[in-house]
Amino acid sequence: MSDDLKILDDVANSEYKWGFVSNIESDNAPKGLNEDIVRFISAKKNEPEWLLEYRLKAFRHWQTMTEPVWPNVTYPKVDFQDIIYYSAPKPKVQLDSLDDLDPEIKATFDKLGISLEEQKRLANVAVDAVIDSVSVKTTFRETLLEKGIIFSSFSEAVHEHPELVKKYLGSVVPYTDNFYAALNAAVFSDGSFCYIPKGVRCPMELSTYFRINSAGTGQFERTLIIADEGSYVSYLEGCTAPMRDENQLHAAVVEIVSHAEAQVKYSTVQNWYPGDKDGKGGIFNFVTKRGICLGYKSKISWTQVETGSAVTWKYPSVILKGDNSVGEFYSVAVTNNMQQADTGTKMIHIGKNTSSTIISKGISGGRSHNSYRGLVKINKSADNARNFSQCDSLLLGDQCGAHTFPYLEVSNKTAKVEHEATTSKVGEDQIFYCNQRGISTEDAVGLIVNGYCKEVFNQLPMEFAVEAQKLLAISLEGSVG
């Protein structure tokens, strides 16, 4: 039987395949963080005074805060003075068209499998690619503009649509929210901005690709998505980083505003470098993602497939303010080797007849720890609120841990809240059954795990679902003889 465990252990061991470093010249800020650095970033980006003020306020607030210690993760203390807070690929010339893009950057995207050109022509996906701190290129922009859709880098939006940025920035995740949100508000470098006007259904999936390339940099992107009344958008986010021995910090903020009868679907496939088998290196992923359903019948749906990062701390949440609004959270979180994840969601019910669904699938292998942490809060005002939560944990091997921390706060008697949780192991009998049909143990584990995640993968757009399945297979790939 120990042989089986060994096989599972082998299967659970993965090699990170996105660990290349691109040789792109970059323009860095000096290490460390103080008001001058905040001003430096703001100046680099030619920001208006109000934004600098916002950053400085956030920075001053951040200085009064301490790192949260409640997550079920342990990691060496981050030295915030040992991080480069701004790193931009140095442009050789001003970019006028895609052809002027630095060939190295282009090659990086090709390795990532997101050739901008191909994306543009074939996939009908508009891509905003962020390397380190700066948004490199936004494709399809003009096509979208015809419909009045704004999809640009955050920095561009600051200059071109200051009224929108000013109105919504920090409206869902204020800089006072938490330690990392405050840090992000002070030093965020770039990210994506998206606005869908009233009644417009965005004709393509919008996509952002994030990559940390430079050594010793942190990535602090900021994404703001606004769906005006009756609009619809599906937004995809992918992340990778090269292999490095030191830990790198990623502290992003994503804010979504969904107005009455608008729908926002936000899908993430996160594959930051998880560190090596012994837990050396890897990304610390401390991210605040939150959306607000502002109006009647608005809807926000988060889908995430988390396979990377050394430490993940992430709770994509929905504030259900509008009556009859809907929040959804579908998650697959895979941890291997020494990875740790503390992830889940918060569903805050304020409006009447609001409903939320939480489907969380945790998969742990190696010596990793995988925690689900979720809060369902039904406010007094939320008559007839509904929540359904299902949190499943799958264990590969016997040295990993799965933990579930559901929190329920119900202040309205008409609420209906259901919570289901299961923990299972990939059964030896399931593997043997597959073996007996000619399927190797490695493929069997892949098959079983993919089946286990099906409910979540079904929520992803087609191309992304295929990618997620491949990623899962790769993360579970091992040296089974």
Partner 1 sequence: MLTIKDLKASVEEKQILNGLNFEVKPGEVHAIMGPNGSGKSTLASVLAGREEYEVTGGEVIFNGEDLLEMSPEDRARAGVFLAFQYPVEIPGVSNANFLKTAVNEVRKSKGLEALDSKQFLKIMQEKMKLVEMDKAMTQRSVNEGFSGGEKKRNEIFQMAMLEPSLAILDETDSGLDIDALRIVANGVNALRDGKRSFIVITHYQRLLDYIVPDFVHVLYKGRIVKSGTKELALELEEKGYDWIKEEVDATLNA
Q: Which residues bind partner 1 (CB under 8 A)?
A: 1, 3-4, 427-430, 432-441, 443, 447-448, 450-455
Shortest Å, Cβ 436 to partner 1 = 5
| Spatial distance between the Cα atoms of 225 and 235, rounded to a whole number of angstroms | 9
Shortest Å, Cβ 231 to partner 1 = 33
Helix axes 441-452, 428-436, angle to 10 degrees: 120
Shortest Å, Cβ 326 to partner 1 = 24
189 torsion bin: left (phi>0), alpha (psi -120 to 50), beta (else): alpha
Helix axes 179-187, 49-63, angle to 10 degrees: 150
Question: What are the backbone dihedrals phi and psi of residue 342, each rounded to the nearest 5 degrees, phi first?
Answer: -125, 100
For partner 1, the closer CB: 294 or 332: 332
The DSSP line for 188-249 is ----EEEEE-TT-B-SSEEEEEEE--STTB-B--EEEEEE-TT-EEEEEEEEE----SSEEE
CB 393 within 8 A of CB 402: yes
For partner 1, the closer CB: 224 or 449: 449
For partner 1, the closer CB: 142 or 429: 429
Shortest Å, Cβ 17 to partner 1 = 23
Shortest Å, Cβ 356 to partner 1 = 23
For partner 1, the closer CB: 34 or 424: 424
Shortest Å, Cβ 432 to partner 1 = 6
For partner 1, the closer CB: 51 or 439: 439
For partner 1, the closer CB: 210 or 452: 452
Shortest Å, Cβ 452 to partner 1 = 6
218: closest CA among 434, 29, 444, 450? 29
| Spatial distance between the Cα atoms of 40 and 28, rounded to a whole number of angstroms | 11
Residue 210's DSSP bridge partners are 130, 239
For partner 1, the closer CB: 376 or 468: 468
Shortest Å, Cβ 437 to partner 1 = 4
> Torsion angle, CA of 410/382/406/389, rounded to 10 degrees?
130
Return the biggest CA–CA distance within the chain.
Answer: 69
Residue with tokens 């999809």: 151
| Spatial distance between the Cα atoms of 57 and 182, rounded to a whole number of angstroms | 9
